[in-house]
Amino acid sequence: MNINDHNPLPLYNANPDRYENIPYRRCGRSGILLPLISLGLWHNFGHANDYTNARSIIRTAFDHGITHFDLANNYGPPYGAAEETFGRILKQDLKSYRDELIISSKAGWDMWPGPYGNYGSRKYLIASLDQSLKRMGLDYVDIFYHHRPDPETPLEETMSALDHIVRQGKALYVGISQYNAEDTDRAAKILKDLGTPCLIHQPRYNMFDRWVENGLLKVLGDQGIGAIAFSPLEQGILTDKYIDGIPENSRAVKDGRYLQSDRITHEIVEKVKKLNHIAEQRGQSLAQMAIAWLLKDDRITTVLVGVSTAEQLKNNIDAAKNLHFSPSELNAIEEVLKNQDPFK
């Protein structure tokens, strides 16, 4: 467990100009504004990761106007570790800024042994959030999500649990993740009838994975639900990282859980090279263009990025400087992406 801060950072005072650094967008039909870029703690905040680096990333995010920090019960490794790390950073650096933050967590994937530590039962969701609050040292989270659909538990039970959590004061808002269009529509209507609107949906969405365009985005627009797109860079493929081969220190080599090296095919690399050329003509990195491409649709409230360094985060934030695409640029991008979804 790498919990020692070997290079202690100086006492933290937030950048007084932080809210001048990034635009904000309204989350559906709600009172909440979210920064166009949000920070996810899926990777690089576990016990094996460098704590000083984690603190630097969090500080950089807030100093640049990122107010939304996205976690889940099983982020680590081990499970729960990212919430513990964030709780420690919150106590050291951000405690006095708590009311400026949107902190989210989720439950839905396997978390503990036995029949009550997974999916979408009322028992699991409420118990998991209680554990998450303890790990982060919080009385409440701003957003609590059901992390994935549960084919067995009645949707009414899952949504009723989310409503109950809000009424308990343990979350201010609720959301869902990875639900298809039909189930999203049903879930939103159930929550509306209960009196706790669905604030936000967190789908996987990027240039190579566009399933949300098959009805989900329309439902979100019709229902007034915001969207926060995760994996906008397809685990690093939509960057210039793999254009000249697979680096030895890349995620595809070091950690095959989320990106297998055999997915980086010649066909994918050729597409990435063409997209990178379009990005260069726009004066952007490919990562910046991939983020901007998502944000061109105002139904996408914010894009969730995961980074390994503060510099990488600042590069992603700069995507917000150019969200405009000309018709010729959009046509060129579609020409690269046409005829197939590479990962289906």
> Is residue 4 domain-resident?
no
CA distances from 185 to 73, 194, 215, 291, 300 (A): 25, 14, 10, 26, 17
Query: Domain with 127 in it: what CATH number?
Result: 3.20.20.100
- What are the two backbone dihedrals, phi and then psi, of residue 164, each rounded to the nearest 5 degrees? -60, -40
Cα separation, 143 vs 104, in Å, equals 5
Cα separation, 214 vs 224, in Å, equals 17
Query: What's residue 263's pLDDT?
Result: 75
Domain that holds residue 101: 23-241+286-318
Query: What's residue 248's pLDDT?
Result: 63
Helix or strand (DSSP H, E) at 288: helix 286-295
Can you give the C-alpha Rg of the chain in angstroms?
20
Query: What's residue 343's pLDDT?
Result: 43
> Is residue 261 domain-resident?
no
- What are the two backbone dihedrals, phi and then psi, of residue 47, each rounded to the nearest 5 degrees? -65, -25
Collapsing DSSP to helix, strand or coil, 247 comes out as coil
> Is residue 28 domain-resident?
yes
Q: Name the residue among 143, 82, 150 with its Cα closest to residue 122.
A: 150
Structural domains of the chain, count: 1
> Is residue 9 domain-resident?
no
pTM (2 d.p.) = 0.93
> Is residue 335 domain-resident?
no
Q: Are 199 and 226 in contact (CB under 8 A)?
A: yes
Query: What's residue 342's pLDDT?
Result: 46
Helix or strand (DSSP H, E) at 38: strand 37-40
Query: What's residue 244's pLDDT?
Result: 82
The alpha carbon torsion through 31, 144, 210, 250 (nearest 10 deg) reads 120
Query: What's residue 278's pLDDT?
Result: 98
Positions in the chain whose pLDDT score sits under 70 = 1-7, 245-262, 340-344
Collapsing DSSP to helix, strand or coil, 262 comes out as helix
> Is residue 101 domain-resident?
yes
> Is residue 280 domain-resident?
no
> Is residue 224 domain-resident?
yes
Query: What's residue 264's pLDDT?
Result: 83
